[in-house]
Amino acid sequence: MQQKSIFTIIGISILVFLVWQLPYLGSIQYPLLLLGTWFHEMGHGLTALLIGGNFISLEIFENGGGVAYSDISSSYLPYQIARSVTAAGGLLGPVISGAILIISAKNKMSSKIALWSLIIIIVLSLCLWIDSLLALVLLSIFAVILLFIAIIKNRGLETFTLLFLGTQCVLSTYLQIGYLFTKQFERDGKIHYSDTQVMATHLPGTYWMWAILILLITIYLLYKSYRYYLKK
């Protein structure tokens, strides 16, 4: 059983890597890219809610980018910290979510809870925060697929789904490594700060120092989640 789990982890990790490296898999890469954007922007919005702010809406663009609109004026944290924590939430949201999905794949009950929780969160985002047609269509399709997987109750398929999505979420940080080490970017003719630069603006340190920290946290959480899943 232990050896089978190791082969499963290795196989899924290779599969995720190949999906992003093989150029003729664009039809698979694109929806996964947008799903990763959803996790990222939901990380911003839900973090704002957790610190006492408001999550207003979320947009996902055709080029794979996105934006989460939030209001932290009512946060119980000082503005500088609240702004930084909200920015970090988008970077760490996919990583934390992915680690939870990997860990939950370990047994039948936790798999069921994680799968249904993900479906509920997607549906809530569709009802409350999604503000773009592309995101509405894409996430509705993902919700239907996950609902089908949850209903048929195939243990192997549930495990594969959670491990694949979890690994994809965690490794999405590396897919955005250019963004991590970017100070600013242009959108619609306007200059915007990256999340790491927002953190550097309101906290000590530089944007590249925060980018390195995010990468180290990502590696640590991936290691710990895999180790937990493989633990007897």
Token couple for 185: 């970017």
pLDDT for the residue 172 = 79
pLDDT for the residue 109 = 93
Residue type, 154: N
State the CB neighbour count (10 A cutoff) for residue 188. 6
pLDDT for the residue 3 = 63
CA-based end-to-end distance of the chain: 9
pTM value? Answer: 0.91
pLDDT for the residue 64 = 84
Q: Residues 94, 142: contact at Cβ < 8 Å?
A: no
Query: 151 exposed, middle or buried (CB, 10 Å; 0-12, 13-18, 19+)?
Result: exposed
pLDDT in tens, 92-129: 999 999 999 999 998 899 999 999 999 999 999 999 99
pLDDT in tens, 161-194: 999 999 988 887 777 788 889 888 887 778 888 9
Q: Average pLDDT over the chain, rounded to whole?
A: 89
pLDDT in tens, 15-66: 888 877 777 776 788 888 899 999 999 999 999 999 999 999 999 998 888 9
pLDDT for the residue 2 = 60
Residue 10: pLDDT band (50, 70, 90) is: confident
Token couple for 14: 């290779």
Rg for the chain, CA atoms, rounded: 18
Determine the Cα–Cα distance for residues 140 and 227; give it in Å rounded to an integer. Answer: 33
Tell me the pairing of strands 66-71 and 54-60: antiparallel
pLDDT for the residue 16 = 81
Q: Is the pLDDT of residue 209 over 70?
A: yes
pLDDT for the residue 4 = 64
pLDDT for the residue 201 = 94
11 vs 124, higher pLDDT:
124
> Residue by residue, what is the 3-state secondary structure of the chain?
CHHHHHHHHHHHHHHHHHHHHCHHHHHHHHHHHHHHHHHHHHHHHHHHHHCCCEEEEEEECCCCCEEEEEECCCCCCCHHHHHHHHHHHHHHHHHHHHHHHHHHCCCHHHHHHHHHHHHHHHHHHHHHCECCHHHHHHHHHHHHHHHHHHHHCCHHHHHHHHHHHHHHHHHHHHHCHHHHCCCEEEECCEEEECHHHHHHHHCCCCHHHHHHHHHHHHHHHHHHHHHHHHCC
